[in-house]
């Protein structure tokens, strides 16, 4: 068992198909939210998602995590702190990139920082990060991804303990790079399962409940 005197664990988890199911419209179910809120009272818990802030809050309205990492690492919310990461010239460049993508036939929408693309651009503009995820993509300033977002969060928190990352998709590989323990839910893509230390037997939010039940006894956290 973990010594309660040691630093609390930080669990970071994707939202769609990790905390929530597509069959539920990606709304986090009440029993999953309750378990995660209890987890956040004992350790630290952050949602790390490609979603925009307003959409994430709507889908996970009952969640009370320690922190949020939004738009695939571009925005960190922790307490009353809001960290938005983008180069000074990103606003102008983003408009140019958006026009290029639309001229190539891609349907796009915007977050505070991210460009959301219906499809994965095969010839993206230089100097950007294209993060694919199950047939769509998020375009961000170069160097920004979920791993960057998790590291930015731990810096903001001043946290130096163990990080457990849980996900399902290709964009969670970057989050794994910032974690001590890498966990894939049962419905994760094969690439993520191969990179995981633990592959859960259950899918989506049920997988998170499975992980919560075993968290205190993980040998990697001793």
Catalytically annotated residues: 14
What is the distance between the alpha carbons of residues 184 and 172, in angstroms, rounded to a whole number?
Answer: 9
- Give the separation between CA 172 and CA 73, rounded to whole angstroms: 11
Distance, CA of 149 to CA of 184 (rounded, Å): 19
CA 190 from chain centre, in angstroms, equals: 18
Q: Record the tokens describing residue 199, joined without a space.
A: 């592959």
What single-letter DSSP state applies at residue 160? -
What is residue 15's three-state secondary structure? coil
Close Cβ partners of 39 (under 8 Å, ≥ 6 residues apart) = 11, 45, 212, 215
């Amino acid at each position: 068992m973990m010594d309660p005197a040691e630093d609390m664990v930080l669990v970071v988890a994707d939202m769609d198909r990790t905390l929530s199911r597509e069959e539920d419209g990606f709304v986090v179910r009440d029993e999953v939210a309750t378990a995660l809120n209890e987890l956040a009272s004992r350790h630290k818990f952050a949602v790390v998602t490609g979603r925009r802030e307003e959409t994430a809050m709507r889908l996970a309205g009952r969640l009370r995590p320690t922190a949020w990492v939004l738009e695939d690492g571009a925005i960190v919310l922790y307490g009353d702190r809001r960290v938005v990461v983008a180069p000074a010239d990103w606003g102008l460049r983003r408009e140019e990139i958006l026009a290029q993508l639309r001229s190539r036939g891609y349907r796009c929408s915007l977050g505070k920082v991210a460009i959301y693309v219906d499809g994965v651009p095969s010839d993206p503009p230089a100097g950007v990060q294209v993060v694919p995820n199950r047939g769509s993509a998020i375009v961000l300033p170069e160097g920004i991804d979920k791993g960057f977002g998790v590291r930015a969060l731990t810096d903001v928190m001043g946290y130096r303990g163990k990080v457990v990352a849980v996900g399902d998709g290709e964009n969670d590989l970057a989050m794994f790079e910032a974690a001590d323990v890498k966990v894939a839910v049962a419905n994760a893509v094969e690439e993520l399962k191969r990179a995981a230390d633990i592959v859960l037997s259950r899918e989506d939010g049920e997988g998170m409940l499975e992980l919560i039940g075993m968290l205190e006894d993980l040998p990697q956290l001793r």
